[in-house]
Amino acid sequence: MTKIQQEMQELADSGIDALLMATMILDDYENTVFGSSQQSHHDTAIALLRVQQQTKGSRNLPIERAVRRSIIKTCILHGAGIPAFLKDGTVYEEDISMLELDSLLVGAACLREKSVNLPLDGNSENTSGHTKLTDLATEAEVLENALAAWPVVDRADWKFVRLPVSTSLESTQLFPLYGDSVHRYQSHGHATIWNMHRAVRARVNSIRIQCVSRLLLQGALSHSASVSEQLAVCRQTLDSSVRDLGESIPFFSQFSISTRKGFEELTTGRRLILSDSKIVPKMAALLAWALAMLFRIDAVEGSQKQWLKLVLKTVADSLQKLH
C-alpha cells in the first residue's frame, strides 16, 4: 500500500484517473468472462480508490463514483464484502435521485456476502442454522420490497415503453430476440440503470428462494399455501427480471434496416421490424454486468440460461476489442 501511495503521488491527476478507469474496465471484463473467479483488478481498484482518498489534492468525483459503483457490483456478483469506506454514497456526492438505489445496492452486496456461507446442514435440529436462514430470508424480503418500490414511475425520464416486434426474413441476428417485444428508453444510461436494478432483484429473489427451500427441506417450515405463494412470487419476479432485461437488449444494438438505423414502425399497431444487428464494445460494456449476474444465478435455468449464455458470449467477444 505504501509503495502504491508513493507511486501515485508521482503521477499527475490525469494519470491517476486513467489508472482508475483502466482498472475498472479490466475488472468489468473479468466479470464477464464465463467462470472467471479472478478478482485481481477488483482488489487493485479498491486499493487505488482508498489511496486516492488519502492522497492530498483534487478529487475527480465522477471517476471515483464510477469506480466505486463498479466495485460494489463486483461484490454483489462474487459475494465479496464491501470495504467500509465505500458504503456511504454521500461521501462521493452521489446524485440525490440515485442515493436510494445506491443504498439498496450496498444492501444487496451485504446480503449476497451472507448468502455465500448459507448453512448447508440438513439436520432438522440445527436451530442455529434455521435462525440464520430465516433471518436471511426476511432480510431478502425487506430488500425486495424496497427494490420493487424504487422505480420513480411518475417521472417521465424513467418510463420506458414496450413495442411488439417481428423479425425480418433477412435477419441474421447474432442471438435470438427474447420474447416478442422490445423496450425503448430515454437513454442508454436509463436502460443500464434499469438492467442493474433487474439483475439485483433477480439475485435477491434467488437468495430468498434458496433460504425458504432449505428451510422446507430441513423441516423448519411446513409446505403451507402461504409458503408456496411466497416461492411463486419470487419465481415470477425472477422470471420477469430476466424477460425485461432480455427485451432491453435490442436497445443497445445497432440495427440496419435498408439505409436507416434504429427502429422502423411498420403499422399503426406500432409493430417493428429488426434486421442485422451487432453490439459495439461501448454498448457491450453497459450490458456485461447485468448479463453476468443473471447467468450466474442457479435459479435461472433451461432456455433462459441458454439464451443468456449466447448473449453473454456475444458481449464478451465485443468487449475483447477494448483490450
Of residues 254 and 314, more confidence is placed in: 314
* Exposed / middle / buried, residue 232 (Cβ in 10 Å: 0-12, 13-18, 19+): exposed
Backbone angles phi, psi at 85, to 5 degrees: -70, -10
**Contacts (Cβ under 8 Å, ≥6 apart) of 140:** 111, 204, 205, 207, 208, 211
**DSSP code of residue 295:** H
Q: Residue 236: is its pLDDT beyond 70?
A: yes
- The secondary structure of 15-64 as a DSSP string is HHHHHHHHHHHHHHHHHHSTT----HHHHHHHHHHHHHHHS-S---HHHH
Q: Residue 6: is its pLDDT beyond 80?
A: no
C-alpha neighbours within 13 Å on the C-beta side of residue 260: 7
Of residues 146 and 224, more confidence is placed in: 146
Task: State pLDDT tens for residues 277-307.
Answer: 678 888 998 999 999 999 999 999 899 999 9
Neighbours of 174 (CB within 10 A): 16
Backbone angles phi, psi at 164, to 5 degrees: -70, 145
Element (H, E) at 272: strand 272-274
Question: Which neighbouring-strand residues pair with 254?
Answer: 278
pLDDT at residue 265, as a whole number = 45
C-alpha neighbours within 13 Å on the C-beta side of residue 40: 3
248, 190 in Cβ contact below 8 A? no
Neighbours of 217 (CB within 10 A): 11
pLDDT at residue 51, as a whole number = 77
The mean pLDDT value for 83-105 works out to 90
Task: State pLDDT tens for residues 82-91.
Answer: 999 999 999 8
In the numeric block, which cell numbers belong to residue 91? 461521501
Q: Residue 74: is its pLDDT beyond 60?
A: yes
309, 294 in Cβ contact below 8 A? no
Domain boundaries, the chain: 1-117, 122-323
The residue with cell 432449505 is 214
Q: Residue 258: is its pLDDT beyond 50?
A: no
In the numeric block, which cell numbers belong to residue 323? 483490450
Of residues 22 and 242, more confidence is placed in: 242
pLDDT at residue 146, as a whole number = 95
Q: Residue 37: is its pLDDT beyond 80?
A: no
Structure confidence at residue 270 as a pLDDT band (50, 70, 90): very low
pLDDT at residue 195, as a whole number = 97
Task: State pLDDT tens for residues 111-138.
Answer: 999 999 876 655 555 677 788 999 999 9
Q: How far is Cα 305 from Cα 233, in angstroms, rounded to an integer? A: 20
The mean pLDDT value for 163-174 works out to 60
